[in-house]
Amino acid sequence: MTKTKKPPFRNSLWVSGIFALLSLGLALYSFYNLQTFRQNARRAQGKVIELVPQRKVFRPRVKFATEQGEIIRFTATVGASDTTQLKTGSVVPVLYHPKSPQDAIIDDYWQIYQPSWMILIFGVSPLLLVLLVRFILVPRNKS
Nearest 5°: the CA angle 35, 108, 29 is: 25
Percentage of residues in the chain having pLDDT higher than 70:
90
Nearest Cα neighbor of 105 from 35, 40, 41, 36 is 41
- Bridge-partner residues for 95, per DSSP? 43, 105
Nearest Cα neighbor of 116 from 41, 36, 47 is 36
DSSP 80: B
pLDDT at 136 over 70: yes
The string of pLDDT tens digits covering residues 6-50 is: 766 778 888 889 999 999 999 999 999 999 999 999 999 999 999
Q: So what's the pLDDT on residue 26?
A: 94
Amino acid letter for position 109: Y
Residues in contact with 72: Cβ distance below 8 Å, sequence separation at least 6, in sequence order: 63, 64, 65, 66, 96, 101, 102, 104
